[in-house]
C-alpha cells in the first residue's frame, strides 16, 4: 500500500470522531452513558446540529430536481408550495443546465461561473473573469487539485500556518511534498508577521526545499482571526518578493463577527488595490457553500478563482478537472444561489434576510458565550473569534494529567478531549491535530450546538473541566 | 507545474469535445454551420441528450431537498404532486440523514450502505457487508482513490485493457505509475484471454515492473463486450496465481443487450462460487448511478465494494475518504434509490417499470441501428455491443486521408472525427484516446442520441463518410 497515505493525518475525523460515532450508535441502541446525546463540535457541520437551511435555496434545489412541478398543469399547486422567485430561478437554471442529471462542463456551468464572476466583482470592486473560475466539489477538492498542480517533486515546499486546518498537511503528505510551517502568534490574537513568513521560507531554503506557495486561511481555521488590510499587503509583497503562489482559503468570508474593527477583504481585492506593480502575482482564492450562513456541507459545492495564471496552466487545470468529469450539479446550483441570493424587493427577500440574520446573530452570541466559558476554566485562555466557526483555547494541563496521557499513549490534549467525550458526549478535536507550539496544548471546538441548549452545553464543559482538574491537579 | 499532470490525457473531454463546445456556443449565437445542432456522442451522458430521468427517483430527491413539503400542513398539496411511496421514502431517508446539507459519515450514510449490501447479496446470492462498502462521488472517484492506495512507487504496474476507458491511463499518469496494457481481441468480439494477460504480466516483470492490480471493465468500455462466466473464472485464477488485486469496473452492469447469451454476472458472484480456495483474493468492484437506465451523471454518485481486504487497509481507505469529508449526499441518495427502487405492488412501481423498460428497449434498438450503420460504411467493421453504451468501430482509412492527417499534425482517427464534427455536428472520440493495435484506427460513439432523430443521425454519418471517402479515396 502507498506509504504516503499511511503518513497522512486528518484529526477532524480521526480517533475522537470515530469514538463519538460509536457512542452515538450505542446510545441509539439503548446503552447507558453519562450523557443523553453526542454533540459533534469536531467539525463545522451546522445542519448536523439542526441549523435550518435557507428556505429559498432549498426551494430552488427541490424544483430543479423534479421539473414536472414547473409544467403548466402543476402551476397552481406548485405556486402554493414554492415562492414565485424560486420558481423563476429554477426555470432559468434548467434553461441553462438542461438536467441536474447530466454531466456539465468540466469547469462548471458557464452561466453559473458568470454569476460567480459578477459576485466577485461586486464584492471587490474589481472585474472578475468567468474563464478564470473553476467550480469544485467543495473547497477541499479545489485545494487538493491546486496542490496537486503545484507539487512537481518531493522537494517542493508549501507554506502553511500553524495551527492549520489539517486538509493541508494531509494533502501534502499524500502528494509527498514538504509542509513549510509558519507560526501564528497566539499572544497577538493569532497574528501573522512577514518576519515569521520570511524565517520559515529561509529555513526551508537552507534545507534545500523549494517553496512554491503560501497558504493563508482568512478568516483563520482553527484560530478565527481576521487579517487587517495592512497585513494582507505585507503578505502580498512577501509573495511577490519570494515568487510564491498565494493560496487564499477564504471559505469563512461571511462568518465575520467584528465587522467594524475586522471586516473581511479578499486577497483579490487587496492585490488589485496595490496597482500594476503586483499584476504578475499568482493568486488562487477558494470559497465554499459549506460555511457562512448557508452551511450546505453535504452538498459539496465551491469554487476557486485564479489570478495571474498563464493560459497553459489553466488548460492543464481544465484537463485534470475533466478526468473527474464535473462537480455535482446540485453543488454548482448552490454556488449560484450563494452568489446570487434574493435581492431587496424579491418575494423571498424578507424571509431570506430573516433566516440569514437569525443564524448570523446567533453565531455571534454563541461564539461569545463559548469564549467566556473557555476563559473561565482553570488554566485555560482563549482568543476571541473575529470570524470562522471555531475557538482554539490554550489549555495548561497539570503534570499528573500529562503523565496519565503518556501512560495511555496519547498526546495530553488528545487525552483531555477523549476524557471530555466520555464524560459529556461532546466531541472536540485536540490541538495536536492542527499543529501548535511544542509543549503547548489546545483544542478546537465549533460554537455550533443548538441555541436552545447552548447554556447546558457550556455548563457541561465547565463541570467536566472542574472534575478533570480535581482528579489531576498537581 | 507538476509534469505528471501534463502527461495525463483524457480524450473524452479533449480537443474534439472542446471544439464541439465552441460550435455549440457559435450556433447559439447565430453562426452558420452545415448542421443545426451539436450531438455529443463523445460521452455517456444520456440526460444531456434528453433522456428523461426516472420520476420516482426525482420525486424523492425533490422532497428531501425541501422537507417543509413533508410537514402536516402541506400534506394535502404534497400528496397531489408526489407519489405516496416517494413521500414515505423521503421521510425514511431524512430520518436517517437529518439533512442533505450536512456532511455524512465519510464512508457513506450507514443505512444506505446497508441497502447496497442487501442489493449485492440479492443480485449475487452471496452475503455482502456494509462495512466493506464505500460510497463515492461517482465510480471515477472510487477508481482514483483505489489506484492511489495501490500505487506505492513509480515502478508499480496496473494492468489495463486496450482499448480502455482513459480514466485509467490518465489516473496512472498523474500517480506516476506504469500502465501494463493487455489487448482485447477485436476479431473475437473484443475477447480476453488469460494467455494475453500472462504475456502482458510477464513482459512487464521482465522490464522490472511490479504488477499489483488488474483492471477489468465488464461490460466493456469502449468495446461493449460482456464476459462469460468461464472467462471470469480464468481471470480470477490468473489474479490468484500472480497475486494481483482485481479491480472490476462494473458500472454498465444493467446495460445488457443480449441477456440470454451474455448475461451479466459480477466478479464478486463468480469469485464466491469458486469456493474457499479463492477466499484470499482481493477484489474491488465499482458501480455508479451515472449509467444503466438511471443515467444520473450530474449527480456524482457511486460506490465500491471491497472483498478480501485486511482491516488496516480499510482503515486507511476510511482515512483518505475522510480528508474529502464525504461524498455529496444527493449522490448517496441516488445510490439508495438505484439499489432499492419501487417494488411490485408499490404505488410507483408501474410507472418506474414503464420508464425503465422504455429506455432499455430503446437503447437496444439504437445500439443495433448504429451498429448496422457502421457496418454499412465503406472500410468499416463494427462488433455488436453486448452491453454498455458505446460502439467502437474499426475504420480503414485511405492513404490519402492518412497523409492529410499527418499534414494536419493529427492521428488519422482524430482527423476523421474532426472532419465528422465539422461536417455533421456529431462529436465522437478517436480510438487513439482509448488505445488500439498500432496502425489501426477506430472511434467511439455512444448510441444515446434521441430516438426521434436517430435515423437522421445515422443518415448524417453515412453521408459524411461517403463524402469523406470520395475526397480521400486512393
A60-98 confidence digits (pLDDT tens): 999 999 999 999 999 999 999 999 999 999 999 999 999
Domain ranges of chain A: 3-51+357-472, 55-96, 110-339
| Nearest to A464, CA basis, from A375, A383, A377, A372 | A377
Residue B225 near residue B257 (C-beta atoms within 8 A): no
Which residue among B6, B10, B69 places its CB closest to the CB of A322?
B10
CA pair distance A170, B324, nearest whole angstrom: 10
Find the CB nearest B2 among A103, A148, A325: A148
Q: Which of A85, A50, A77 is nearest to A351 (CA)?
A: A85
- The predicted structure's pLDDT at residue A406: 96
Quote the minimal CA–CA distance from A64 to chain B in Å.
8
At A10 the pLDDT is: 87
pLDDT at A11: 84
Q: What does the alpha-carbon distance between residue A362 and residue A366 come to, in Å, rounded to a whole number? A: 6
Say if CB A239 and CB A281 are below 8 A apart: yes
The partner residue sitting opposite B99, judged by closest CB among A55, A298, A330, is A298
Inspect the interface and report whether the beta carbons of A45 and B103 lie closer than 8 Å. yes
Q: Which residues of A touch B99 (CB under 8 A)?
A: 47-48, 53, 298
pLDDT digits over A339-377, tens only?
A: 999 999 999 999 999 999 999 999 999 999 999 999 999
**pLDDT for A19:** 94
Residues B404-413 have pLDDT tens digits of 999 999 999 9
Angstrom distance (rounded) from CA B302 to CA A212: 35
HEC assignment per residue over A240-263: HHHCCEEEEECCCCCCECCCCCCC
Q: How far apart are CA B232 and CA B267, in angstroms?
A: 7
pLDDT, tens digit, for every residue of A125-145?
999 999 999 999 999 999 999
Distance of alpha carbon A467 from alpha carbon A461, whole angstroms: 10
- Strands A443-446, B245-249: pairing is unpaired
Share of residues in chain A with pLDDT > 90 (%): 96
Residue range A326-340, pLDDT digits in tens:
999 999 999 999 999
**The predicted structure's pLDDT at residue B14:** 86
Would you tell me which CATH number, out of the four given (3.30.70, 1.25.40, 1.10.287, 1.10.10), belongs to the domain A55-96?
1.10.287
- Residue B46: φ, ψ to 5°: -55, -40
pLDDT at B444: 97
Q: Which residues pair with A426 in a beta bridge?
A: A39
A311-323 and A138-150 helices cross at what angle (nearest 10)?
A: 120
Match 483474493 to its residue by C-alpha cell: B281
Q: Which three cell numbers stand for residue B172?
A: 496512472
Contact A13 B322 (CB under 8 A): yes
Counting as low any pLDDT under 50, the low residues of chain B are none
pLDDT of res. A35: 94
CA nearest neighbour of B13 among B46, B56, B49, B42:
B42
Average pLDDT over residues A407-412: 96
Domains B3-51+353-472 and B55-97 share a fold: no
Is A5 within 8 Å of B65 when comparing Cβ atoms?
no
Half-sphere exposure of A190 (CA within 13 A, CB side): 28
**Per-residue pLDDT at A12 exceeds 90:** no
Testing the interface with A: which of B103, B296, B336 to mutate, by most A Cβ within 10 A?
B103
Residue A227 CB: number of other CB atoms within 10 A? 26
Residues of chain A found within 8 Å of residue B58, distances taken between Cβ atoms: 65-68
CA dist., res. B311 & res. B372, Å (int):
50
CA angle A417, A418, A420 (to 5 degrees): 65
List phi, psi (to 5°) of B185: -95, 105
In chain A, which residue's Cα lies nearest the Cα of B7?
A: A316
Top CATH class of B3-51+353-472 equals alpha beta
What CA–CA distance (Å, rounded) separates A149 from B260? 48
* Test the B interface: residue of A37, A103, A433 with most B CBs within 10 Å: A103
Q: How many inter-chain contacts (A to B, CB under 8 Å) are there?
A: 224
Residue-wise pLDDT tens digits, A205-223? 999 999 999 999 999 999 9
CB–CB of B47 and A102 under 8 A? yes
DSSP B301: -
A219 preceded by a cis bond (ω within 30 of 0): yes
CB B426 within 8 A of CB B41: yes
Instruction: Tell me the CATH number for domain A110-339.
Output: 3.40.640.10
- Please tell me the predicted confidence (pLDDT) of residue A198: 98
How far apart, in whole angstroms, are the C-alpha atoms of residue A295 and residue A290?
4
CA distance B372 to B458: 9
CA distance A399 to A248: 39
Site of grid cell 501494463? B180
A3-51+357-472: CATH topology: 3.90.1150
Among residues B330, B299, B337, B303, the alpha carbon closest in space to that of B317 is found at B303
Nearest CA in chain B to A70: B81
pLDDT in tens, A13-25: 888 999 999 999 9
Residue pair B391/B385 in contact (Cβ under 8 Å)? The answer is yes
CATH code assigned to B55-97: 1.10.287
**Cβ proximity of A268 and A123 under 8 Å:** no
User: How many Cβ atoms are within 10 Å of B273's Cβ, its own excluded?
Assistant: 16
The alpha-carbon gap from B78 to the nearest alpha carbon of chain A, in Å, equals 8
Q: Is the pTM of this model over 0.90?
A: yes
- With a CB cutoff of 8 Å and minimum separation 6, the contacts of A28 are none
* Predicted local confidence at residue B74, as pLDDT: 97
List, for residues A384-403, the tens digit of each pLDDT value: 999 999 999 999 999 999 99
- CA-wise closest residue to B255 among B371, B336, B360: B360
Residues A300 and A330: beta-carbon distance below 8 Å: no
Residue written as cell 431587496? A344
Taking only the tens place, the pLDDT of each residue in B100-127 is 999 999 999 999 999 999 999 999 999 9
Q: Which three cell numbers stand for residue A371?
A: 469564549
**A8 → closest Cβ in B137, B313, B323:** B323
Amino acid at each position: 500500500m502507498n506509504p504516503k497515505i499511511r503518513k497522512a493525518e486528518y484529526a477532524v475525523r480521526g480517533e475522537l470522531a470515530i469514538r463519538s460515532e460509536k457512542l452515538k450508535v450505542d446510545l441509539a441502541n439503548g446503552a447507558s452513558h453519562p450523557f443523553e446525546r453526542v454533540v459533534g463540535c469536531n467539525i463545522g457541520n451546522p445542519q448536523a446540529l439542526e441549523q435550518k437551511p435557507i428556505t429559498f435555496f432549498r426551494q430552488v434545489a427541490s424544483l430543479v430536481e423534479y421539473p414536472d412541478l414547473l409544467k403548466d398543469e402543476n402551476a397552481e399547486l406548485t405556486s402554493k408550495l414554492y415562492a414565485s422567485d424560486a420558481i423563476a430561478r429554477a426555470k432559468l437554471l434548467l434553461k441553462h443546465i438542461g438536467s441536474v442529471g447530466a454531466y456539465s462542463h468540466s469547469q462548471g456551468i458557464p452561466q453559473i461561473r458568470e454569476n460567480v464572476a459578477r459576485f466577485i466583482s461586486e464584492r471587490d470592486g474589481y472585474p472578475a473573469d468567468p474563464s478564470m473560475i473553476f467550480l469544485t466539489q467543495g473547497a477541499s477538492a479545489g485545494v487538493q487539485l491546486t496542490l496537486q498542480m503545484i507539487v512537481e517533486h518531493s522537494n517542493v515546499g508549501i507554506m502553511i500556518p500553524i495551527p492549520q486546518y489539517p486538509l493541508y498537511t494531509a494533502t501534502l503528505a499524500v502528494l509527498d511534498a514538504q509542509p513549510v510551517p509558519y507560526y501564528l502568534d497566539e499572544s497577538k490574537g493569532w497574528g501573522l508577521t512577514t518576519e515569521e513568513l520570511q524565517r520559515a521560507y529561509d529555513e526551508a531554503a537552507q534545507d534545500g526545499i523549494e517553496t512554491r506557495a503560501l497558504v493563508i486561511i482568512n478568516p483563520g481555521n482553527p484560530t478565527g482571526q481576521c487579517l487587517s488590510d495592512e497585513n494582507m499587503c505585507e503578505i502580498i509583497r512577501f509573495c511577490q518578493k519570494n515568487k510564491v503562489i498565494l493560496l487564499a482559503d477564504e471559505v469563512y468570508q461571511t462568518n465575520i463577527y467584528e465587522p467594524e474593527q475586522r471586516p473581511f477583504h479578499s486577497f483579490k481585492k487587496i492585490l488589485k488595490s496595490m496597482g500594476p506593480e503586483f499584476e504578475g502575482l499568482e493568486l488562487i482564492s477558494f470559497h465554499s457553500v459549506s460555511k457562512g450562513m448557508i452551511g450546505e456541507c453535504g452538498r459539496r459545492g465551491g469554487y476557486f478563482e485564479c489570478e495571474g495564471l498563464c493560459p497553459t496552466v489553466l488548460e492543464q487545470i481544465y484537463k485534470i478537472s475533466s478526468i473527474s468529469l464535473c462537480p455535482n450539479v446540485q453543488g454548482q446550483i448552490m454556488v449560484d444561489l450563494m452568489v446570487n441570493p434574493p435581492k431587496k424587493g424579491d418575494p423571498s427577500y424578507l424571509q431570506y434576510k430573516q433566516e440569514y440574520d437569525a443564524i448570523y446573530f446567533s453565531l455571534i452570541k454563541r461564539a461569545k458565550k463559548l469564549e467566556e466559558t473557555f476563559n473561565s476554566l482553570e488554566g485555560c485562555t482563549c482568543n476571541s473569534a473575529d470570524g470562522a466557526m471555531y475557538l482554539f483555547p490554550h489549555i495548561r494541563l497539570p503534570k499528573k494529567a500529562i503523565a496519565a496521557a503518556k501512560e495511555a499513549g496519547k498526546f495530553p490534549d488528545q487525552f483531555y478531549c477523549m476524557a471530555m467525550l466520555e464524560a459529556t458526549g461532546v466531541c472536540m478535536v485536540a490541538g495536536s491535530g492542527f499543529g501548535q507550539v511544542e509543549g503547548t496544548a489546545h483544542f478546537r471546538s465549533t460554537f455550533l450546538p443548538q441555541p436552545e441548549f447552548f447554556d447546558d452545553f457550556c455548563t457541561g464543559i465547565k463541570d467536566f473541566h472542574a472534575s478533570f482538574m480535581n482528579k489531576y491537579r498537581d
